Amino acid sequence: MALEKLQMIPLGGLGEFGMNCLALRFGDDILVIDAGLMFPEEELLGVDIVVPDISYLIENRSMVRGIVLTHGHEDHIGGLPWILSELNVPVYGTEFTLAYVEGKLDEHRLLDDAELIEILPGKRFTLGPFSVMPIRVTHSLVDCVSLAIHTPVGIVLHTGDFKIDLSSPDGHPFDLQAFADLGKQGVLALLQDSTNVDRPGFTPGEKAVIPRLDDIFAATKKKIFFSCFSSSIHRIKIAMELAHKHGRKVALVGRSIDNSTEIAQDLGYIDPPQGLIIHPGQIRDFAPDKLCILISGTQGEPMSALSRAAVDNHKFAKIDPGDTVLLSSRIIPGNEKGIYRVIDHLERRDARVIHDDGTNGLIHVSGHGSQEELRLMINLVKPKFFIPVHGDYRHLKRHVELALSTGVPEKVILLEDGDVLTLDKDSAQKTGKVTTGRVCIDNNSTADVVEDTVIRDRKHLGEDGLFLPIIAINKRTGAIEGQPEITTRGFAADDPDLLRNARDIVVRTLEQSSEEERRDYGVMKDKIRGDLKRFIQKNANRRPLIMPIILEL
């Protein structure tokens, strides 16, 4: 045992935002931290979600002792249905995190077979050679933890997503003392959240939004539509408290915000006064200045409640002139078009839209620590080795520079997905690479994995369209029946003679083929495809997807 070394293998989240998943291996035991997803970039046409390639875990399935979750955001738990369908191992998480996980697994019909084990901040548990101490941290979600993993070679501290908020609205502040105690014990390696490494100073606490939001509630004479991330339990709680203070009833509109609020109420994170929450169907029963509507869709999602209300197409949420719409969230990169499209529709309804965060006070704060918090954590735990996690390559690189500037870690290591970092008490070296990558999934189904070739075909179709030559062949004689037809989709020909000439190409290909070839439909399709491809490339400088269809008569 003493001769064995610890291996750290990131399977996702180092080089992109999302898909957070990391394996720790000691001998024949593997512990997995987080199982996230990533939402697809524009070029991944038709793909719903992207999850990490877990080939390494599948190859070593007998060694995997469990998956430990830091918190309940999608980029940390969203890949669980896919991973558990391949690898049914115990899942460890805090009460609130597991409540989200249960809903997700139930949706994918995986809940009955899942083993979910609740963990408590400050209470150690054991997985093989790993003794894991969850430590309370603050973030934009509740019940989040860092993981201090005691291994035979030393303590590995994985921060998860965090910011240092000592006055959290839920009464559970960041546990600064626990990190200071770890610093006294000695930390072998610190893996730290890189999300806000570009932001100077400290990230404001969740309560920093209250003064500006209070002013908005006080000044608004009509309905308030309050939109935030459905997982922002602190923000939902603050909105409800302000609504109560200003004599407004609260209606929850949108499935995600309704589900999150229900979980938060069940677990005691939100305790609204009796009668504060009304059913959306009761909105029309109250005066506009007595209403606050918590509505989902802050990122401009096309079918969200806010998007539908913005075009006057929601059963309960009707936005009238003079209403205030408050977007209490950041714009996730890539969502700008959708968000500004919704804002345009809201402006057409003569609503007052507030989506800034800083001119007259804050309406949104980040859930991730800025530069000074990152430095504070490094100075507090005094790690021997430092590894930045969670971020694009540029974030990881900036984080390396920030860690070096503290002068604390003996060694700073920039890892990417698939790198194998081997550690003992005195050294940390990259010693290899494992298979990693992304798995694209359609329809949120664990079965509908989309291959790269499918994405390529979708891109192809989107750019150059589809060409369908339809040919009728007499199976008995091999003779062509009638003239071939050509149907196109997404292919605009500048030359009106192009389709006629393409039809002639198909006829010539058929005529020049032997009777035996014409009876072999596979051969004929290839010949027609090849001849048409050359013709269209030469005459239209396009490369549509060509799919010959042969009707057997």
- Number of structural domains, the chain? 3
At residue 467, the pLDDT reads: 84
With bands split at pLDDT 50, 70 and 90, how would you rate the model's confidence at 331? confident
**Which residue in 210, 206, 203 sits closest to 171, CA to CA?**
206
Spatial distance between the Cα atoms of 310 and 290, rounded to a whole number of angstroms? 21
Spatial distance between the Cα atoms of 396 and 3, rounded to a whole number of angstroms? 31
Tell me if 320 is assigned to a ligand binding site.
Answer: no
**Averaged pLDDT, 169-183:** 96
Catalytic residue flag (residue 368): yes
470 and 422 belong to one structural domain? no
433 and 514 belong to one structural domain? no
User: Which of 386, 416, 450 finishes a domain?
Assistant: 450
**Which residue in 107, 179, 241, 156 sits closest to 415, CA to CA?**
156
At residue 544, the pLDDT reads: 83
pLDDT of 480 strictly over 90: no
Q: What CATH number is attached to the domain comprising 258?
A: 3.40.50.10710
433 and 535 belong to one structural domain? no
Per the model's pLDDT, the better-predicted residue between 46 and 71 turns out to be 71
At residue 399, the pLDDT reads: 98
15 and 83 belong to one structural domain? yes
* 532, 505 Cβ separation under 8 angstroms: yes
248 and 278 belong to one structural domain? yes
Per the model's pLDDT, the better-predicted residue between 553 and 278 turns out to be 278
At residue 474, the pLDDT reads: 78
Spatial distance between the Cα atoms of 204 and 364, rounded to a whole number of angstroms? 9
pLDDT of 386 strictly over 50: yes
Tell me if 368 is assigned to a ligand binding site.
Answer: yes
Tell me if 345 is assigned to a ligand binding site.
Answer: no
Number of residues assigned to the chain: 553
| Residue 48 located in a structural domain | yes
User: Which of 310, 334, 354 finishes a domain?
Assistant: 354
Spatial distance between the Cα atoms of 386 and 416, rounded to a whole number of angstroms? 14
Spatial distance between the Cα atoms of 428 and 188, rounded to a whole number of angstroms? 10
Tell me if 75 is assigned to a ligand binding site.
Answer: yes
Residues 6+ apart with CB under 8 A from 164: 138, 174, 176, 202, 203, 369, 373, 376, 377
50 and 194 belong to one structural domain? yes
| 174 CA to centre of own chain | 25
| Residue 160 located in a structural domain | yes
DSSP 288: G
With bands split at pLDDT 50, 70 and 90, how would you rate the model's confidence at 459? low
At residue 513, the pLDDT reads: 85
Angle value at C-alpha 295, between 74 and 141, nearest 5 degrees: 35
Q: What CATH number is attached to the domain comprising 463?
A: 3.10.20.580
Alpha-carbon torsion (147, 148, 152, 154), positive or negative: positive
At residue 189, the pLDDT reads: 98
Tell me if 365 is assigned to a ligand binding site.
Answer: yes
- Computed over every residue of the chain, the mean pLDDT equals 90
**Averaged pLDDT, 300-329:** 93
Tell me if 73 is assigned to a ligand binding site.
Answer: yes
Per the model's pLDDT, the better-predicted residue between 407 and 466 turns out to be 407
Per the model's pLDDT, the better-predicted residue between 526 and 11 turns out to be 11
Per the model's pLDDT, the better-predicted residue between 80 and 444 turns out to be 80
pLDDT of 210 strictly over 80: yes
| Residue 359 located in a structural domain | no
pLDDT of 254 strictly over 50: yes
**Averaged pLDDT, 399-428:** 96
**Averaged pLDDT, 344-356:** 93
382 and 258 belong to one structural domain? no
Tell me if 442 is assigned to a ligand binding site.
Answer: yes
**Averaged pLDDT, 256-265:** 95
| Residue 361 located in a structural domain | no
| Residue 1 located in a structural domain | no
At residue 3, the pLDDT reads: 60
pLDDT digits (tens, 9 = 90+) for 112-134: 999 999 999 999 999 999 999 99
Q: Given the residues 170, 193, 357, 464, select the one marked as catalytic.
A: 193
β pairing state of 249-253 and 277-278:
parallel
* 342, 300 Cβ separation under 8 angstroms: yes
Tell me if 367 is assigned to a ligand binding site.
Answer: yes
**Averaged pLDDT, 65-77:** 96
Tell me if 71 is assigned to a ligand binding site.
Answer: yes
Catalytic residue flag (residue 193): yes
With bands split at pLDDT 50, 70 and 90, how would you rate the model's confidence at 47? low
Q: Report the range of poorest mean pLDDT among 196-205, 318-327, 364-373, 514-523.
A: 514-523
pLDDT of 442 strictly over 80: no
Tell me if 76 is assigned to a ligand binding site.
Answer: yes
**Averaged pLDDT, 100-115:** 94
Q: What CATH number is attached to the domain comprising 42?
A: 3.60.15.10
User: Which of 403, 433, 450 finishes a domain?
Assistant: 450
With bands split at pLDDT 50, 70 and 90, how would you rate the model's confidence at 307? very high
Spatial distance between the Cα atoms of 457 and 181, rounded to a whole number of angstroms? 55
Per the model's pLDDT, the better-predicted residue between 49 and 68 turns out to be 68
pLDDT digits (tens, 9 = 90+) for 492-529: 665 678 888 888 999 999 888 887 777 777 788 888 98
Residues 6+ apart with CB under 8 A from 262: none
264 and 303 belong to one structural domain? yes
| Residue 321 located in a structural domain | yes
Per the model's pLDDT, the better-predicted residue between 510 and 162 turns out to be 162
Q: Give the predicted TM-score (pTM) of the model.
A: 0.82
Q: Report the range of poorest mean pLDDT among 19-28, 76-85, 171-180, 532-541.
A: 532-541
Q: Given the residues 158, 368, 395, 399, select the one marked as catalytic.
A: 368
With bands split at pLDDT 50, 70 and 90, how would you rate the model's confidence at 451? low
182 and 34 belong to one structural domain? yes
| Residue 320 located in a structural domain | yes
pLDDT of 314 strictly over 80: yes
* 189, 385 Cβ separation under 8 angstroms: yes
What's the domain range around 267?
206-354
